[in-house]
Amino acid sequence: MKSFSRKELDYRMKPTIRDVAKLANVSISTVSRVMNAPETVVESKKNRVLNAIEELQYKPNALARGLISKKTHTIGAVIPDIRNPYYAEVIRGMEDASKRNGYSLIICNTDRSHNRLFSYLNNFYEKQVDGLLYTSDSMYPDYYSEVKRLRLPVVLVSTHSMEFELPSVKINDEQAAYDAAKTLIDLGHRRIAFIGFELTDSIAGQTRYQGFVRALREHGLESCKDNVVFVDGWSYDPILAAESLVAKCPNVSAVFTASDELAIGLMCYLSERGIRVPDDLSVIGFDNIRMSSMTIPRLTTVAQPMYQIGYRAVEKLHAQINGLNDPVLREQLPHEIIVRASTRRI
């Protein structure tokens, strides 16, 4: 086996799998088999490869390790707005599950831009990622066509599709909103309002409004269904939303908001105007972001299992990548009402 001098080793570029193959006098595929399935390589060749790896101090990259398996052990995640605190726990769950299953995670922020999303999808394809985590947005037909064209396994995170047979992980948003509204009703409130996302948002807008209205209908409070302010789910100003609601519904005793950010903005607006929470107005949010337990008063909210959503999404993607059985296509994780100090019985 040819040896390189120390001077040659010192001045060489970072060694590649090709260098190892040349030094060991074997093919590149043999080096890959030694790294991925050593039991398939005869002892003499395996020893030559191991000696070459040690002499060159070679550290295989993902592409080299994947020459045989055709996998890079990387997955891509597209996030619509990385500034939204909701995604912190979701991404943490993705990261932990990725590490546990041997993947590196690449996170890209799309700002809900069609062009940016398609650019990232092509970047993922060029980097040969093993799969895609698609977060919180609708899977539109042109998005689906592009994913299929690029042959990217995909799992939907905090969203779902009834049009396409794609695995997903989320909560039951309609039931969660129903439970939030019913919490206020059970506390004796009969003049209830709602700040929600536009109904064109089929993931968190329409479903949460439907849950709110169902609770009103079942408890004879249909007169409250017009006590609603809708905001753009991707560019809303929580303070402006609060101002609009107070102007439209000045006499309500409780408000349910479709996110904790909206609830915190509402409480800030009310505090500045001397309206006390919960003495004058009860407030319940949605998500249970970290900040919800630090507000004054602390926020009652619908807790989404954000970490578990991210974690399960990676597990489902791992199963899809490896052809493993995953019995639940559209998986719904349980939510919980966390009662804190921003709501009271009347």
Name the token pair of 155. 């799992």
CA 344 to chain centroid, in Å, comes to 33
7-42 residue pLDDT tens: 454 445 688 888 999 999 999 889 888 877 777 889
272-323 residue pLDDT tens: 999 999 999 999 999 999 999 999 999 999 999 999 999 999 999 999 999 9
Residues 129, 16: Cα–Cα separation, whole Å: 20
Residues 111, 64: Cα–Cα separation, whole Å: 33
Closest CA to 80 of 133, 36, 127, 41: 133
Query: Could you tell me the sign of the dihedral formed by the alpha carbons of 189, 190, 196, 200, in that order?
Result: positive
User: At how many degrees (to 10) do helices 62-69 and 28-36 cross?
Assistant: 90
207-263 residue pLDDT tens: 999 999 999 999 999 999 999 999 987 788 999 999 999 999 999 999 999 999 999
Task: Quote the DSSP letter at residue 84.
Answer: S
46-100 residue pLDDT tens: 999 999 988 998 877 655 555 555 688 999 999 999 999 999 999 999 999 999 9
Q: Which domains does the chain have, with CATH numbers?
A: 6-69 (1.10.260.40), 74-170+307-332 (3.40.50.2300), 173-303 (3.40.50.2300)
Residues 98, 115: Cα–Cα separation, whole Å: 27
Query: Which residues, 6+ apart, have CB-to-CB distance to 19 below 8 Å?
Result: 12, 52, 56, 58
